[in-house]
Amino acid sequence: MSTEFRLTDDPRRTEGFDPRHTHLDQLSPLALVQTFADDQQQALSAVGAAVPALSAAVEAALPFLERGGRLIYAGAGTSGRLGVLDATELTPTFSWPPERAVALIAGGSRAIREAVEGAEDDQDTGKSDVRGARVGPDDVMIALAASGTTPYVLGAVAQARADGALTVGLSNNPGTPLLTAVQCPVLLDTGPEVISGSTRLKAATAQKIALNILSSALMVRLGKVYGNLMVDVRATNTKLELRALRLVMHATGTDEHTALTALNAAAGRIKTAIVMLKLGVSSQEADERLAASKGHARATLGE
């Protein structure tokens, strides 16, 4: 499928004009805000329709990450920045090693804060960025492009597949080259935007929700959560230190002093402290048992 379209026959729904909003510039502030809010609901509907595809992507990606692979994000513009955000948040939330969450964005780090004109149109740079990241057969690429036709992203996907990586693609248009190029296509069909072509609106919202779901589900399946407790969070500030204490108290039913003593002995590692208290073992033994269970607290506890 060609990535070039005549203005009169562009099939990408995200580039369409929504006839409901032709008087957008004449609305009152209240009506204007309500219009934007109502339109965002379509992002939720699009993600709901994509649940089977997202589930398939989680299932396909899990073995790659279990054997030590990385998450590689690739995107341009808003989509690229969403990839950077998701990659960045995995470390403080789940203690995911930062070197195992690599975000590639057209235009490089400068593009995180400002537009780099023309960067997304360079397919060869997408390929070279993937080669520079040394993507390999244990890695998982999450490629994002609202249009589904961004050359930089298509180049990145082509190189990642050639290097043996699993590729997941998120696009807001059906039948686009990105969804054809990847092994795990995820369509987020959000349709035309309130402001025509402004995919930073509901198209980006749907991508953000899908990324939240995809990476969080992977972290849960990798043992980064016990029940619904964030037991691998890094306590790097006062707020998180208090959260860690509450998590240990909640998971074990112990008082504050007991939980704090265990946390200190575990060097702040919540999951280790929970296993210590529930099994009555030392921090070293708790760590050894967790390692034997590949970090899964429930398996370690025999629950």
The residue from 15, 99, 120, 256 that is catalytic is 120
3-state secondary structure 177-188: HHHHHCCEEEEC
The residue from 66, 89, 241, 288 that is catalytic is 89
Tokens encoding 134: 């040394």
Cα dihedral value 286, 291, 296, 300, nearest 10? -50
Q: Which long-range contacts (CB under 8 A, 24 or more apart) does 16-19 make?
A: 16/191, 16/192, 16/196, 17/192, 17/196, 18/191, 18/192, 18/193, 18/194, 18/196
Distance between CA atoms of residues 29 and 36, nearest Å: 11
- For residue 302, is it left (φ>0), alpha (ψ between -120 and 50) or beta? left
Close Cβ partners of 47 (under 8 Å, ≥ 6 residues apart): 54, 188, 206, 209, 210, 213
Tokens encoding 56: 């398939």
Q: What is the DSSP letter of 226?
A: B
Query: Residue 117 catalytic?
Result: no
Distance between CA atoms of residues 172 and 193, nearest Å: 11
Query: Residue 120 catalytic?
Result: yes
Distance between CA atoms of residues 35 and 194, nearest Å: 8
The set of catalytic residues is: 89, 120
